[in-house]
Amino acid sequence: MRPEPAAAPQAPDVRLRFPVDREFPVPESEYPLLFQPTESGRLESALYGSTRTRRASKNRLVPSFHEGIDIRASERDSKGRPRDPVLAAADGAVAYLNRHSGNSSYGIYAVLRHSDRAGEFFTLYAHLSGLAPGLAAGGRIAAGDTVGLLGNTPADIIPLARAHLHFEVGFMLNARFDQWYRKQKLVPDHGDMHGWNLIGLDPLEILLRFAAEPEFTLSEHLRELAPAFHLVFRARRQLDFFERHPAAWSGEPYGGPAIFMAVSENGLPLGGRNASPEETQRLGKARALVADVNAAVLGRNGARLVERANGGWKLAGAGERWLGILVY
Nearer to Zn ion, 67 or 240 (CB): 67
- CA 206 and chain centroid, separation: 12
Report how far residue 83's alpha carbon sits from residue 20's, in angstroms, rounded to the nearest whole number.
Answer: 11
Nearest approach, Cβ of residue 164 and Zn ion (Å): 7
Is-contact 154 102, C-beta < 8 A? yes
What is the DSSP secondary structure assignment for residue 49, as one 8-state letter? Answer: T
Find the shortest distance in angstroms from Cβ 232 to Zn ion.
Answer: 35
Could you tell me which stretch among 64-72, 175-183, 263-271, 275-283 binds Zn ion (CB under 5 A)? 64-72
Write the single-letter amino acid at 66: H
CB of 71 to Zn ion, least distance (A): 9
Under 8 Å between Cβ of 269 and 231: no
Residue among 70 and 84 whose Cβ is closer to Zn ion: 70
Do 110 and 97 contact (CB within 8 A), yes or no?
A: yes
Q: Does 168 bind Zn ion (CB under 5 A)?
A: no
Beta bridge partners of 96: 111
* Other C-beta atoms lying within 10 Å of the C-beta of residue 149: 20
Q: Which amino acid is it at 98? A: N
Stretches 129-137, 165-173, 180-188, 315-323: which one binds Zn ion (CB under 5 A)? 165-173
Ranked by CB distance to Zn ion, the top (closest) residue is 166
70 versus 116: smaller Cβ distance to Zn ion? 70
Contact code string over 196-215 relative to Zn ion, x by CB under 5 A: --------------------
In whole angstroms, the minimum distance from the beta carbon of 275 to Zn ion comes to 37
Does residue 166 belong to the site contacting Zn ion (CB under 5 A)? yes
> How far apart are alpha carbons 266 and 263 in whole angstroms?
8
Q: Cβ 36 to Zn ion, closest distance in Å?
A: 8
Q: Does 55 bind Zn ion (CB under 5 A)?
A: no
Residue 67 lies near Zn ion (rule: CB under 5 A): no
How many residues are present in the chain? Answer: 328
The one-letter code for the residue type at 249 is W
The site for Zn ion (CB under 5 A) is made up of: 68, 70, 166
